[in-house]
Structure 1
């Protein structure tokens, strides 16, 4: 057993860092497969779903963008999300309920909102933030656990205890709130991007109203990716919600 708490802390870090790097790499490269396994996304072609495919493609052509892959979730909820940040791995996913209950212009507005997320590389930004938060929390826990061997109360152990505690506070409290603030700001930007692409703020507003009125709910598995949806109905408005309130988003849209 290592008796020096400082040496033990460094040993823990050397053990955990490769693990964290491996897990981070897996999350980075396979997050699409994880998301699709949770939501049950089915890829669709122009032949299978000409309306939704052409809607997205026309938006992309108008801006000189490559058309992303299109997916549909056979679910009555009214929701949509985008993943990816380049031409090769980007997807826009719609629920069947959204396609069947929104007008053509409203669907176009939602598609433009999600396309803006891809253009702004929002999925990459949030993924990096989530991975960074995980690293900070794990390092803090590794340091604190290593100090259970410290019986001497030397200054080195005290310094490591302070560092570990700060990392835990940052990882569990501060950075998650930073993440929420960033995801909220990106939703406002995506709404604005939808108006820029479609020149039609009224359709974006009416789409949001319909989505809010539907009172969607997310399954336990879906809650792990709540930040990706166009609207997160699973938590109340406030600091703990990943999205701005529909009322605030509409107010911002009306100002354009």
Structure 2
């Protein structure tokens, strides 16, 4: 509940700040002077500000949100030999990938999972679950860490946020064009924005938002294959395949990764063809088969 409230509060704050900014610089009136036609240039600017505001703000606070929502404890001074090994392994993999050493953490969860996040590849966070550390072999843990380092080195967090911003922009843009068409052409309203504009815009945003999510999730699945390839290169193909097979063996165990972090985890699964369109990760069977073909 706290994570949901924080998410809603964050987005509300972004919308308020963006709205005030737009009003101050004069971009709040995207309707033309006669109230009938859209000023498409001004509308696009309006939508871009709102569309990118949320995704970029979320990106900049992603490490803080990840630590808070998962209960990740950052390893500053290793207290055990396992924590020392974890730090040394991430440092070695980071050097191989040519990035700065990220923060390393462990989050308290029974399910085997891991994630990487951060606003750029030289200021990232890599975290693994306690369950993964306890049940996976050192080679498998190293492969999972290599997969997450691959996400960081590929700049996946930044790219996904930018794509989400672009998608948000055009969903808002075309939804308002549709709303204006319905209001002016179908309902013959010539006195500014009527109720039909607002209703049609909301419905259009919902429909276009669903279609846009399919595009974003397709990219998210594609980047998982790239991260798997990076994991195989930084660790070894055998270890990466073994780690994915171990994840598949535990797939019946419920995954409780917070919604905001699911796209950045290593383990996620869907149950149907329709659900597959909205999956952030490809099926583990396909990822394993891809690595085997590469090998």
Residue number in structure 2 paired with 1:178: 215
Distance 1:175 1:121, change over 3 A: same
The answer to whether structure 1 residue 89 and structure 2 residue 123 are counterparts is yes
User: 2:181 aligned with 1:152, yes or no?
Assistant: no
Residues 143 and 231 in structure 2, CA contact (< 8 A), matched pair in contact too? yes
Query: Which ranges of structure 2 fall in alignment gaps of 5 or more residues?
Result: 1-32
Is contact 2:269–2:282 with CA below 8 Å preserved after alignment? no
Is residue 248 from structure 1 mapped to residue 286 from structure 2 by the alignment? yes
The answer to whether the Cα contact below 8 Å between 2:146 and 2:231 also exists between their aligned partners in 1 is: yes
- Farther-moved stretch of structure 1 (33-42 vs 14-23): 14-23
CA pair 149-63 structure 1, distance change in 2 beyond 3 A: closer
Out of 122, 136, 139, the residue aligned to residue 156 of structure 2 is 122
Tell me the residue number matched to 2:17.
none
Runs of 4+ in 1 over 6 A off after TM superposition: 8-15
1:128, distance to aligned residue in structure 2 (A): 1.3
1:122 and 1:186 in contact (8 A); partners too: yes
Higher relative contact order (CA 8 A, sep 6+): 1
Q: Does 1:40 align with 2:71?
A: yes
Whether the 8 Å CA contact 1:46–1:53 is kept in 2: the answer is no
Q: Distance in 1 between matches of 2:261 and 2:94?
A: 26
Supply the distance in 2 between the matched residues of 1:251 and 1:14 (Cα, whole angstroms). 44
TM-score normalised by L of structure 1: 0.80
Q: Which moved more, 1:31-40 or 1:48-57?
A: 31-40
Match of 1:109 in 2: 143
**The residue matched to 2:228 in structure 1 has which SS?**
helix
The CA RMSD over aligned residues, in Å, is 3.6
